C-alpha cells in the first residue's frame, strides 16, 4: 500500500482495528458456546495478529486488509465446568468491554487521521 495511506501511524491504526475486530469475533464465539459441552474458549494472539496485519499492508500488491478470519487464534482456557466447557462468561464480558473500548478509541483516531488527509487533499477548503 502506498501513497497517502502509507504512513506508519495510519497503517498501525488500520491493523489495530482489524485485529480488534477479530478479537471481538472470538469473544462472540465464546459467548455463543457458553453452554456447549466440551467447548474451549479462544482468543486472538494480539502481537502475532498485528504483525500479520502490518505485513499484509506492507506486502507488494497486498490489499492492506488482513482478514479477521485469518487471525491467529489461541486457546484461552477458563475454569473447566463439569461438562468440560472452558468458557468463563464473566471473564469474556470483561474482555469484550476492554476490546470495545480499544476499538472505539482506535476507530476514532483513524477517523481523525482520515479527516486530516481529506483536509490536506482539499487544500484546507481554500478557495483559489
With contact defined as beta carbons under 8 Å apart, do 23 and 47 qualify?
no
Q: Render pLDDT for 68-88 as a digit per residue (tens, 0 to 9).
A: 666 777 876 667 788 889 899
**For residues 128 and 125, what is the distance between their CA atoms, to the nearest angstrom?**
9
Q: What is the 3-state secondary structure (H, E, C) of 82-127?
A: CCCCCCCHHHHHHHHHHHHHHHHHHHHHHHHHHHHHHHHHCHHHCC
Q: What is the pTM of this model?
A: 0.78
With contact defined as beta carbons under 8 Å apart, do 64 and 57 qualify?
yes
Which band of pLDDT confidence, cut at 50, 70 and 90, is reported for residue 30?
very high
**Structural domain boundaries of the chain?**
3-118
Pairing between β-strand 42-44 and β-strand 73-75 as defined by DSSP bridges: antiparallel
Residue 90 grid cell: 464473566
Amino acid at each position: 500500500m502506498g501513497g497517502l495511506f502509507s504512513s506508519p501511524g495510519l497503517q498501525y491504526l488500520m491493523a489495530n482495528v482489524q485485529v480488534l475486530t477479530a478479537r471481538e469475533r472470538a469473544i462472540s464465539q465464546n459467548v455463543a458456546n457458553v453452554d456447549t459441552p466440551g467447548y474451549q474458549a479462544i482468543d486472538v494472539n494480539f502481537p502475532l495478529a498485528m504483525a500479520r496485519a502490518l505485513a499484509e499492508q506492507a506486502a507488494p500488491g497486498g490489499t492492506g486488509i488482513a482478514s479477521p478470519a485469518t487471525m491467529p487464534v489461541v486457546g484461552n482456557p477458563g475454569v473447566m465446568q463439569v461438562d468440560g466447557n472452558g468458557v468463563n462468561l464473566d471473564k469474556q464480558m470483561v474482555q469484550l468491554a476492554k476490546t470495545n473500548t480499544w476499538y472505539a478509541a482506535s476507530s476514532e483516531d483513524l477517523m481523525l487521521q482520515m479527516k486530516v488527509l481529506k483536509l490536506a487533499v482539499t487544500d484546507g477548503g481554500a478557495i483559489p
